[in-house]
Structure 1
Amino acid sequence: MIHGPPSLRQFLAETPRAAWALAGTPFRWRAALDGAPRGDGGPVLLLPGLFNSDRSMLLMARFLRSLGHAPHGWGLGRNFGQRSIGTDGAALFARIDHLAQASGRPVALVGVSMGGIMARLAAHRVPASVAQVVTVASPYAGPARATRVWRLYEWISGESVDDPALLALADEVRRPLPVPATAIWSASDGLVNGLCCHVAGEPGCHAVHVPSSHYGVQTRPAILRAVAQALAANCPTAATSAMVAGTAG
Structure 2
Amino acid sequence: MTKKSQKVKAPSALLLMLEGRALYEMGAYIAAAPLYRHMAKGDGHPVLVLPGLAASDLSTVPMRRFLKKRGFTPYAWTQGRNLGLRDQVFEKMLAKVDEIFASHKRKLSIVGWSLGGIYARELAKLRPNKVRFVISLGSPHSGSPDASNATRFYELVSGHSAENPPLQTRLSQAPPVPTTSIYSKTDGIVAWQNCHQRKPANPKKAAQTENVRVEGSHCGLGVNPSVLYIIADRLAQSEGSWQPFTNKGARKIFFRTPGFDAVVAT
Task: Give the gaps of 5 or more residues in structure 1.
Answer: 239-249
Deviation at 1:237, TM superposition (A): 4.2
Q: Which amino acid aligns with 1:104?
A: K
| 1:82 partner SS | coil
| 2:129 partner SS | helix
Deviation at 1:35, TM superposition (A): 2.1
Match 1:6 to one of 6, 11, 30: 11
Contact 1:43–1:99 (CA under 8 A) maintained in structure 2: yes
Q: TM-score, normalised by structure 1?
A: 0.87
Q: Is 1:49–2:52 an aligned residue pair?
A: yes
Query: What does residue 196 of structure 2 align with?
Result: 198
Higher helix share: 1
Query: What does residue 28 of structure 1 align with?
Result: 32
Matches within 5 A, 1:66-215: 66-83=69-86, 86=88, 89-162=90-163, 164=164, 167-202=165-200, 203=206, 204-215=208-219
Contact 1:48–1:56 (CA under 8 A) maintained in structure 2: yes
Distance in 1 (alpha carbons) for counterparts of 2:135 and 2:45: 15
Distance in 1 (alpha carbons) for counterparts of 2:99 and 2:168: 25
Distance in 2 (alpha carbons) for counterparts of 1:140 and 1:130: 19
Deviation at 1:34, TM superposition (A): 3.5
Distance in 2 (alpha carbons) for counterparts of 1:30 and 1:194: 31
Deviation at 1:170, TM superposition (A): 2.5
Distance in 2 (alpha carbons) for counterparts of 1:187 and 1:57: 22
Deviation at 1:201, TM superposition (A): 3.4
Distance in 2 (alpha carbons) for counterparts of 1:40 and 1:136: 22
Query: What does residue 250 of structure 2 align with?
Result: none
Distance in 2 (alpha carbons) for counterparts of 1:69 and 1:110: 12
Q: Which amino acid aligns with 2:137?
A: V
Q: TM-score, normalised by structure 2?
A: 0.82
| 2:162 partner SS | coil
Distance in 2 (alpha carbons) for counterparts of 1:223 and 1:19: 15
Deviation at 1:44, TM superposition (A): 0.3
Distance in 2 (alpha carbons) for counterparts of 1:232 and 1:172: 29
Distance in 2 (alpha carbons) for counterparts of 1:109 and 1:38: 17
Query: What does residue 234 of structure 2 align with?
Result: 230
Q: Which amino acid aligns with 1:140?
A: H
Query: What does residue 241 of structure 1 align with?
Result: none
Deviation at 1:200, TM superposition (A): 4.2
Task: Give the gaps of 5 or more residues in structure 2.
Answer: 201-205, 242-266
